[in-house]
Structure 1
Amino acid sequence: MYSFNPGNQFALGHNKYQVLEVINSETIKATNTQTGHSHIMATAELYEHYEKGDLFFFGGEVQEKLEEETIKKLLNPANGPISVNETPSFKDDYLKRDPYTYTEEELDIIEFKLSFIDEILKKNPAAFTENHIQPLVDEVYEREHTKTDKTKPSPHTVRKWYDVYIKSGKQSYSLLPRIKDKGNRNDKREDIKDVIDQNIEKIYLTRNRNSIAKVHKAIKTEIKRNKLDVQIPSYMTIYKRIKKMEKDFPYEVMRAREGLIAANEAFRGADATYQESRALECVEVDSTKIDLFVLYWNGRPAGRPWLTVVRDRYTQCILGFYLGFEPPSILSLSKALKNSFLRKDHILEQFPEIKNKYPCFGLPEIIVCDNGKEWLCCA
């Protein structure tokens, strides 16, 4: 079992982390090596992801130790077969290999898949839906593969290639056929997968909200019309495939079937609608009543003050604030925003006991708020 010791690195989803410190037996502090943000994580949940195959360790002494153990097992048959989950070198049934060992056929497969993946990385589409991926697939296929005998992949297939490639740390070996399929590759099974994926995207992932039964009927019709030498999948096969897709990509499915507004409303609390990439791109504003009483000089209570704060979502810095006894209103809101827009030099001059600098100010591109009355009134 691999532990979350300080310095160890692991990948979870599309993100890579490095353990900074072990807070206690149940939690650790890790930093996202791509964004620089730090997170407090529960080790129980991390080990659960590891057992499911969603998390794997890599890099440094951990990687060297794992590769050394793997080589010893390979050289000693008495140790028995190696499980694909024992080391990240065998993640998802893919064997880590050096590029110089690839055959010409394998290089051709990798180059074909990378041509679509590189286009996605280059264009960076706003979402991984059919409407965003299909034009990129068409463009690459028309530009590079029209004169070959290769079949144009569906957007769903390209999405799967992209996910596997990113999850492996952009290793080319992840694009090769899986080990368990080598020597027994079933082209018919690949054909039926493409037929299923294309009909799901064309019929189910639309604003018409067609049923799963209609998707199954369309698949049967296409197989019979094109006289494909494959077995017609059962209704339960299509049902399970769609339900798994809804579980893995709930936001994308809802957006395709119910529209952008409905999806954003449903996933508002999960930050699935927007990801910041720079400071002042998006700020949040909220008000709260402070848990203390302010007293006049004669000891009479003045009441509990309200604090309105403007926070930058990318840097987590407090851009500005307003402290007063007025309940949330257009007045407190405007003063907090004004404080966030302007420099804070006058505050540092007024309070020389403040030693640190306060360089946070500027005009945000997007302001996020709740449904408070101060936001709904007419200014």
Structure 2
Amino acid sequence: MKNHDKPSIFSDEFECENQIEESELASNAECAVSRDLASYPDATQKEVMRRYYFIEWMRKELAGGWTQKNLDPLLNRAARELQLKAPKWRALANWWKIYSQSGFKLTSLIPRQTAGNRHLKVKNEMVFFDKALERYLVPERPSIAAVYQYYSDLIRIENQNIVENKIEALSYKGFYNRIKKLSAYDVKVARHGKYLADMEFNSIDAHYPASRVLEKVEIDHTPLDLILLDDEHNFPIGRPYLTLLIDQFSRCIIGFYLGFKEPSYFSVMKALLNAIKPKNYISEQFPSIEKEWCCEGKMESLVVDNGAEFWSKSLEQSCLELGIHIQYNPVRKPWLKPLVERIFRTINSKLTISIPGKTFSNILQREDYDSKKDAVMRFSIFNEILHKWIIDVYHHEPDSRKRSIPYLKWQEGINYLPPISYSPEDEKQLAIILGIKAKRQHRRGGIHIHSLRYDSEILADCRRMYPSVTSVLTKTNPDDISYIYVFIEHEQKYIKVPCVDPIGYTKGLSLFQHQINLKLQREYIDKKTDLDSLAKVRMYINDRILKEINDLKSRQKKATKGISRLAKHASIGSDKKESISTSPLLNVSKDADQTKPVQPKGDDWDDLISDLDPY
């Protein structure tokens, strides 16, 4: 198709705005349903019924054809009896023609949309509108007013070169109305991107809810809109990350982990442990909590998004070992994981909203508020408040539509089909199963991992018994790196191996704390290191070596047999002499190049040197 034959985006603007392509109509014929009269505005419905009443009245009273001679005498009487405004005879005759030809379908009487000018006001104005449209349909999303100004300026400049029949620009209202007649989807794609356009206009996939407790459990992370203080030093330590698991059936929060490390397998593992195990620590650690946190047991499916921490091999293996299926959501479809997204908004809007130290997602909302300066909440206090809100408030509060209460829904679910609980022996295995997996070399000195060394007598016995095994599987408990678990392939079991270097450092130390310590140590060393001075020294050493090599190449080669032993006899060292020239066994002349060893009478040189060397 040539460019001048290509239909404009407005080619049907004044002719048939509601036409549908025949191909689209054919493909959608089975699922599309024609609109009925009720789908039109009330005014349109009233007008259709007015036309219908006049047509039916005339059908009963009219004798002859639908002509002016027959219709005019009856119109006033019909208007009085129907109490409706009478139409012109030609309009009534046209209504009857359309109505009868349609097979007496009521929708054929719907008025045509004839409002507005159905013809272009000016002949050449569309060229400039198309240029303005190109500027409007861009990701920068300029306003209609700004684009109209550009459109007006284009025509104004063009008119400077025209003497007669100048181009007349649309009014702002006409320009605005033309913009609004564009395809809303196409405009959204051009100005906001296809993803947001699909989100707004496409149908949303159905979300199939769980039918029992722990059938589907959603997990995700979020940074809380709050800055907390260190418990001991009372200085701001930043925004905490919350990793949370919520049961789809009951909407109960079954576990969480609150910390300052970015989302990782570590935070996922901690939250999983909290969700699976009984919450026996609550009454002892938080005596102010009145209710019971009864959520525990093995989940069937863990619904996750596509975060890197959820694609780790450690998580995949651990979940398989625990019998948990990982369900990965398609990219950018949050409606398939609705509950955890909603609970994060609830926590930030209901719990943290009134706590000093709140942060704002939008920088314009912060104004003069200083989150760090106004922070007053210590980490331990917020941890208690979060537990209490979940257990005593959220679990016993009806949802916004008053359909259910999470705690009662959980009780209903476990009474119908109790989830699988872990025995005490199984709980001991969780630390191993959910530990951080790694492959390490097993050699003399033990196993080196996390910049630490782990070894024991049992591990040394394994090295002696199985010398061919040079690589082993290790599992690290991120909460305590004073030991690791090492899998012995030949015995099909894990052994616990303590950290031996440095002794006492790792007692009660978490992996995250250790990594921070290593980072601080490196930063300290970097600050104390004079890199400029080291660079100068290294350059001096390199230059000095090169100079010495060049000097040696330029000197005459000397007899060196036995000289190394003579250097021992002369006691050359850093604290004394630097040359053998003072040795009595040498005859040194003024010319250093003529220095020659004195040959003792009747003795061999090497034998003499050997006798002189008592070592």
TM-score, normalised on structure 1?
Answer: 0.30
* Higher-Rg member (1/2): 2
